[in-house]
């Protein structure tokens, strides 16, 4: 295995890569919808391409995707098959862009890698909007709970929050469309829309049906909050608490630094990465660099065994004690940050085992406004630990039950406070 030290401030993994993105359990949709955590994407990298032509033949798009997989997919064997058999397999069958999309998805399915996937023009646009941290909608996360479409949470200071929508509200209909059996993706497509337009929601709350009319607006996605999830949880004034919900937006790193700088001279800090599905690799490495004096943060290994080590290079922002909260929704970039802090014994991890995503993907902009996620590398923690499908074990295991959540008890956060306030 070749080895090369690579400081994080250099532009990522190769000259062609703009971003390294680590996506996870949250589904990023224009109405800011989040599906129930199931099987997250892995690490991803975003590559710039020339502006797509207004039209392209289905065969040309298929050929383009085939070539990218041939040259970049992490498994050289392509799941033990001769990749050439796919090159002209559907030439005569493709008449429209939709035909090409279906044929491409069929081809990619043969790789048996859920993280290598094709994005239609609308899906690719949604993803770019998420990275920009600006979307248009009403500002809610929606998901499926007990086969019902529900509000996971309204985003602070958005039309949804101001209208009075609440967590666990059941959505019965959207603009007259019944939500019975509706998917998260379809629900989001009905909720999103142009700024200034309105959407009608029929909500069921505590057995009562309540109609809402919410005016859509620009939603600026915030990655950081300093408020604990439950009001009952009391955090001493001597401690700082930062909840990082995602690494996906370009502003996440700056938001984190601003939050940390707003609470100087604390005796210790709690960084909450629970249910954080990941985001930009640069955000994970730059935040880790705030706490590490030296040493590796993360390593990536390509299909040829070439290893690049991203090292800590900046002065630390604080050397005070640190507790990091993780759970099975903490994935990708969350695991890079928590893994680096754990391997360097810089933080105590509290909660339960993280998701376990140790693969890197590249996002390619392909013709016709489409996109392609390709698994190109795996990553290792500073101690060369491969966490893919294994996860990271916390130093202190604290289980949370449904009863605890309903009662507004955050036992994991309470344990973090206990660890930082107990006397030596």
Q: Which domains does the chain have, with CATH numbers?
A: 1-133+222-424 (3.90.226.10), 135-220 (2.30.42.10)
Checking if the pLDDT of 217 tops 90, the result is yes
pLDDT at 232: 84
- CA distances 206 to 209, 210, 409, Å, are 9, 10, 21
Q: What is the pLDDT of residues 117-141, one digit of tens each?
A: 999 998 898 888 777 766 788 988 8
Q: Sign of the CA dihedral 393, 398, 404, 405?
A: negative
pLDDT at 18: 26
pLDDT at 379: 93
pLDDT at 134: 67
pLDDT at 47: 52
Give residue 321's pLDDT band: very low, low, confident or very high (50, 70, 90).
very high
Ordered alpha helix ranges (H), 120-216? 121-132, 159-163, 184-191
pLDDT at 334: 94
Mean pLDDT of 95-109: 97
Identify the residue with better confidence: 128 or 28.
Answer: 128
pLDDT at 133: 63
Checking if the pLDDT of 267 tops 60, the result is yes
Max avg pLDDT among 77-86, 149-158, 357-366, 402-411: 77-86
Tokens standing for 188?
């989001």
Among the options 173, 332, 338, 367, which is catalytic? 332
pLDDT at 56: 87
Q: Is 319 among the residues known to form the active site?
A: no
Residue 280 phi/psi, 5-degree rounding, is: -75, 130
Among the options 35, 289, 343, 410, which is catalytic? 343
pLDDT at 44: 44
pLDDT at 392: 97
Query: What is the longest distance spanned by two Cα atoms in the chain?
Result: 74
Checking if the pLDDT of 266 tops 90, the result is yes
Spatial neighbors of 343 by CB under 8 A, at least 6 apart, are 381, 382, 383, 385
Checking if the pLDDT of 38 tops 60, the result is no
Contact 209, 194 (CB under 8 A): no
Q: Is 423 among the residues known to form the active site?
A: no
pLDDT at 11: 22
Percent of the chain with pLDDT over 70: 86
Checking if the pLDDT of 109 tops 80, the result is yes
Ordered alpha helix ranges (H), 281-399? 281-289, 333-343
Lowest mean pLDDT among 221-225, 352-356, 420-424: 420-424
Mean pLDDT of 171-189: 93
Mean pLDDT of the chain: 85
pLDDT at 258: 96
Lowest mean pLDDT among 2-6, 164-168, 415-419: 2-6
pLDDT at 297: 98
CA–CA separation, 112 and 68 (whole Å): 16
Q: Is 357 among the residues known to form the active site?
A: yes
Mean pLDDT of 29-57: 42
Q: What is the pLDDT of residues 288-298, one digit of tens each?
A: 999 999 999 99
């Amino acid at each position: 295995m070749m080895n090369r030290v690579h400081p994080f401030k250099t532009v990522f993994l190769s000259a062609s890569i703009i971003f390294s993105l680590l996506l996870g359990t949250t589904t990023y949709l224009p109405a800011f919808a989040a599906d129930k955590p199931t099987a997250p994407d892995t690490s991803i990298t975003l590559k710039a391409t020339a502006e797509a032509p207004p039209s392209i033949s289905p065969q040309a798009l298929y050929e383009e995707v085939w070539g990218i997989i041939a040259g970049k997919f992490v498994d050289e064997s392509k799941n033990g098959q001769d990749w050439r058999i796919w090159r002209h397999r559907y030439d005569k069958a493709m008449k429209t862009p939709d035909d090409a999309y279906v044929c491409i998805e069929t081809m990619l399915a043969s790789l048996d890698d859920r993280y290598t996937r094709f994005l239609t023009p609308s899906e690719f646009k949604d993803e770019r909007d998420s990275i920009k941290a600006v979307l248009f909608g009403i500002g809610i996360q929606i998901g499926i709970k007990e086969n019902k479409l529900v509000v996971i949470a309204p985003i602070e200071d958005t039309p949804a929050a101001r209208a009075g929508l609440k967590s666990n509200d059941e959505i019965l209909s959207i603009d007259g469309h019944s939500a019975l059996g509706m998917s998260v993706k379809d629900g989001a497509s009905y909720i999103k829309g142009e700024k200034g337009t309105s959407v009608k929601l029929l909500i069921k709350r505590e057995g009562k049906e309540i109609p809402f009319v919410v005016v859509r607006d620009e939603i600026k996605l915030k990655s950081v909050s300093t408020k604990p999830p439950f009001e009952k949880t009391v955090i001493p004034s001597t401690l700082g608490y930062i909840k990082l919900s995602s690494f996906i937006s370009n502003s996440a790193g700056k938001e984190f630094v601003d939050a940390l700088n707003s609470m100087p001279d604390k005796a210790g800090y709690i960084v909450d990465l629970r249910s954080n599905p990941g985001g930009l690799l640069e955000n994970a490495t730059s935040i880790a660099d705030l706490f590490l004096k030296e040493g590796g943060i993360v390593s990536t290994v390509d299909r040829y065994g070439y290893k690049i080590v991203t090292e800590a290079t900046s002065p630390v922002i604080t050397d005070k004690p640190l507790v990091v909260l993780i759970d099975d929704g903490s994935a990708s970039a969350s695991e890079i940050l928590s893994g680096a802090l754990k391997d360097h014994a810089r933080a105590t991890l509290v909660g339960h085992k993280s998701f376990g995503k140790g693969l890197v993907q590249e996002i390619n902009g392909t013709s016709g406004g489409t996109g392609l996620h390709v698994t190109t590398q795996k990553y290792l923690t500073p101690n060369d630990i491969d966490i893919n499908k294994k996860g990271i074990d916390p130093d202190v295991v604290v289980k949370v039950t449904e009863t605890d959540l309903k009662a507004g008890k955050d036992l994991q956060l309470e344990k973090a406070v206990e660890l930082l306030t107990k006397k030596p």
